[in-house]
C-alpha cells in the first residue's frame, strides 16, 4: 500500500519523540532576516517552512493551503501570537497531493498546544467539508516547555476524522507529566 493511496483511510500513525528543536533554533535559521527575527521573538506559536524537496536541498516552502490555514488561525487566534518563519517575499507553497492535507510544521508553547490542536482540527473540517472522511492528514507539532526545556515532537499521519482525538490524547500525556496541568490549575486559582 502506498502512503498516498487515495482510497486508504487507515489507522492513524502517531510518533511522539523528544527533540532538540526549540523556538530559537527556528528563529535563528539563515533564511530569516534580522527584522523578521525580532518579530518572531514575541511569538508563542511558530509556523515553520519545510526545507528541501527532492534534490533541491536549498528550497524552503510551505505546503499548499498554508496561507489559508494562517488566515484561519489568525482570525481565531485569541491568546495566540503566530509568527511565520519566512519573509513574505520568500514565501512559496508547494502542492503535493489532492486527498492528503499536509499541514505546515508548528512550534508551540506547551500551555497553548491543546488550543492549537483544536484550531487545526477545526480548520481541517472547515477546509475539507464533506471530504473530511476521505482526507488523510500529515502534520508535525513541536510542543516546547521552555522553563523545563522539554521539547516533544508529535508527527501525525492518518485520517483527518481522527486527528483531534489522537493529538489531544497524546498532548494530554505531556500534560499529565505534571507541567501543563499544574500550570493550568495554578492559573485558575489566581483568577
* Residue 145: C-alpha distances to residues 21, 25, 112, 137, 178 (Å): 11, 14, 10, 25, 12
Question: How many CB atoms lie under 10 A from the CB of residue 55?
Answer: 6
15: pLDDT strictly greater than 60: yes
**For residues 80-94, average pLDDT:** 90
What pTM value is reported for the model?
A: 0.77
Tell me: the pLDDT tens digits for 59-74? 889 988 899 999 999 9
- Express each pLDDT in 168-184 by its tens digit: 999 988 766 544 433 43
Amino acid at each position: 500500500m502506498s502512503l498516498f493511496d487515495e482510497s486508504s483511510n487507515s489507522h492513524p500513525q502517531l510518533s511522539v519523540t523528544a527533540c532538540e528543536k526549540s523556538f530559537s533554533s527556528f528563529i535563528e535559521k539563515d533564511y530569516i532576516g534580522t527584522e523578521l527575527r525580532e518579530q518572531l521573538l514575541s511569538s508563542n506559536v511558530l509556523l515553520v517552512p519545510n526545507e528541501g524537496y527532492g534534490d533541491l536541498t536549498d528550497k524552503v516552502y510551505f505546503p499548499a493551503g498554508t496561507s489559508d490555514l494562517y488566515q484561519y488561525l489568525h482570525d481565531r487566534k485569541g491568546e495566540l501570537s503566530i509568527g511565520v518563519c519566512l519573509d513574505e517575499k520568500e514565501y512559496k507553497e508547494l502542492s503535493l497531493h489532492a486527498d492528503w492535507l499536509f499541514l505546515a510544521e508548528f512550534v508551540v508553547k506547551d500551555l497553548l498546544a491543546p488550543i492549537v490542536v483544536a484550531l487545526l482540527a477545526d480548520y481541517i473540517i472547515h477546509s475539507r467539508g464533506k471530504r473530511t472522511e476521505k482526507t488523510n492528514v500529515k502534520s508535525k507539532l513541536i510542543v516546547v516547555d521552555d522553563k523545563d526545556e522539554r521539547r516533544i515532537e508529535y508527527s501525525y499521519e492518518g485520517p483527518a476524522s481522527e486527528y483531534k482525538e489522537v493529538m489531544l490524547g497524546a498532548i494530554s500525556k505531556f500534560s499529565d507529566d505534571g507541567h501543563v496541568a499544574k500550570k493550568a490549575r495554578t492559573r485558575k486559582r489566581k483568577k
